[in-house]
């Protein structure tokens, strides 16, 4: 229950940040990029933590599609927002910085658990 709640809050926060009418104020140099990076990192982490392993691939693909399309959607539907390729890069970096180490850990875990289950050859 807690995992689903945190996941929902991250999703709501990310969608609000991406599709609010006006861009957020600049708190420091490149704070907008940091916001994109942090939002997608948090969303990726929450999704991996809260969702079933069966749908992680679909979730990550959907998140990547959102990361790429959000900038186009902002430009088309929100008059005070504009397209930024660097925002898209920040979105994708936020996903990659959480997902790739997790994926490497899952692959290595799978590899080492299978190799430890191998039976040794019988001695003559």
Q: Which single residue is written with the structure tokens 């959480």?
A: 98
Give the N- to C-terminal CA distance of the chain in Å, as an integer: 55
CB 40 within 8 A of CB 63: yes
Distance, in Å, from the CA atom of 17 to the CA atom of 52, rounded to the nearest integer, reads 26
CB 44 within 8 A of CB 98: yes
Query: Helices (H), strands (E): how many in the chain?
Result: 4, 0
Q: Maximum distance among all alpha carbons in the chain?
A: 78
| pLDDT, one tens digit for every residue, the chain (124 residues) | 999 999 999 999 999 988 888 777 788 888 889 999 999 999 999 999 999 999 999 999 999 999 999 989 888 888 888 888 999 999 999 999 999 999 999 999 888 886 655 555 544 5
pTM: 0.83
CB 4 within 8 A of CB 50: yes
* Domain boundary assignment for the chain: 2-23+32-107
Q: Which single residue is written with the structure tokens 């186009």?
A: 72
Q: Give the pLDDT of residue 119.
A: 53
């Amino acid at each position: 229950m807690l995992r689903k709640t945190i996941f929902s809050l991250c999703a709501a926060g990310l969608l609000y940040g991406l599709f609010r009418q006006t861009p957020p104020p600049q708190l420091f140099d490149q704070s907008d990029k940091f916001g994109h990076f942090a939002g997608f990192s948090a969303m990726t982490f929450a999704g991996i933590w809260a969702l079933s392993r069966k749908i992680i691939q679909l979730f990550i693909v959907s998140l990547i599609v959102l990361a790429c399309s959000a900038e186009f959607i902002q430009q088309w539907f929100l008059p005070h927002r504009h397209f930024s390729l660097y925002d898209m890069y920040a979105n994708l970096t936020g996903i990659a910085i959480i997902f790739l180490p997790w994926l490497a850990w899952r692959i290595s875990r799978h590899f080492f658990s299978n190799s430890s289950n191998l039976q040794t050859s019988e001695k003559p």
